[in-house]
């Protein structure tokens, strides 16, 4: 079987399993997703499991080799703990996501704190307050990557929206760096209007689409530590 077909089959199997187990913890899902990544030789299962393939391919550190099932469970356990902590953030929606290795990641969408006026990328007072709280809660988990995606509504040209969406992601990235998050941990990507969360036919919908989303995923150091702990038979790391 060709690798591409194998990846697709494994990714679809994981999606079916996960969709039927909505009450399953990140720890268990981490094992399933990590295991499928191993079965598919680490070749992009996360992009298939992720709702947005382009984003899925950009989230996380691309591991040089497949990440094993046990390591996936350990990473899922760590992400579970951080997800619960982040759920205390006000006006933020915390969700599960998959990274480029198929490992458990966390998506943070601020309900109203990081929304922008049309064509603008200036952070509001509320946005800065939300990011202050986020940075404080991420200070103890340095072995993660933070992927920032800027979005726009569909007002104006594609080129203009691409530029503005990148400026929005950069504004959040720069602010987080000012709050002590290392620049090496952060990537900022402009998604223009290609991934709306609401209809662009109304002002209310366009406002929701002018947003920034933040994803937290295991970096290479966390992956290496999880693999080492798994090889040593440890239940945590």
**Domain range for residue 28?**
3-231
The pLDDT tens digits for 50-77 are: 456 777 788 988 876 789 999 999 999 9
Q: How buried is 151 (Cβ within 10 angstroms: 0-12 exposed, 13-18 middle, 19+ buried)?
A: buried
Question: Could you tell me if residue 237 is inside a domain?
Answer: no
Residue carrying structure tokens 């080492």? 228
Question: Could you tell me if residue 198 is inside a domain?
Answer: yes
Question: Could you tell me if residue 168 is inside a domain?
Answer: yes
Instruction: Give 228's contacts (C-beta < 8 A, 6+ positions apart).
Output: 237
Q: Where residue 49 falls among pLDDT bands split at 50, 70, 90? A: very low
**Residue 31 contacts residue 75 (beta carbons within 8 Å):** no
Tokens of 185: 């941990």
- Torsion-angle region of residue 42: left (phi > 0), alpha (psi -120 to 50) or beta? left
Task: Determine the pLDDT at residue 119.
Answer: 85
pLDDT at residue 38 is higher than 60: no
Question: Could you tell me if residue 200 is inside a domain?
Answer: yes
The pLDDT tens digits for 135-190 are: 999 999 999 999 999 999 999 999 999 999 999 999 999 999 999 999 999 999 99
Residues forming a β-bridge with 105:
97
Q: How many domains does the chain have?
A: 1
| pTM check: above 0.85 | no
Task: Determine the pLDDT at residue 118.
Answer: 84
Nearest to 169 by CA among 195, 141, 191: 191
Question: Could you tell me if residue 137 is inside a domain?
Answer: yes
- Which CATH number do you get for residue 195? 3.30.1330.60
């Amino acid at each position: 079987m060709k690798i591409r077909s194998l990846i697709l089959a494994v990714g679809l199997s994981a999606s079916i399993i996960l969709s039927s187990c909505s009450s399953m913890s990140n720890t268990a899902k981490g094992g399933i997703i990590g295991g499928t990544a191993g079965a598919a030789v680490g070749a992009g299962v996360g992009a298939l499991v992720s709702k947005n393939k382009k984003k899925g391919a950009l989230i996380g550190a691309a591991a040089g080799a497949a990440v094993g099932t046990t390591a996936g469970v350990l990473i899922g356990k760590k992400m579970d703990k951080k997800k619960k902590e982040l759920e205390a953030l006000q006006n933020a929606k915390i969700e599960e996501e998959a990274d480029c290795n198929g490992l458990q990641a966390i998506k943070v969408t601020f309900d109203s704190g990081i929304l922008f006026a049309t064509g603008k990328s200036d952070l509001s007072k509320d946005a800065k307050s939300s990011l202050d709280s986020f940075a404080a809660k991420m200070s103890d988990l340095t072995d993660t990557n933070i992927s920032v995606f800027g979005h726009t509504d569909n007002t104006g040209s594609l080129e203009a929206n691409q530029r503005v969406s990148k400026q929005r992601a950069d504004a959040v990235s720069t602010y987080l760096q000012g709050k002590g998050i290392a620049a090496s941990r952060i990537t900022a990507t402009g998604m223009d209007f290609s991934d709306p969360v609401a209809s662009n036919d109304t002002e209310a919908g366009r406002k929701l689409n002018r947003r920034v989303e933040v994803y937290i995923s295991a970096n290479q150091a966390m992956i290496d530590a999880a693999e080492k702990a798994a090889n040593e038979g440890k239940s945590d790391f």
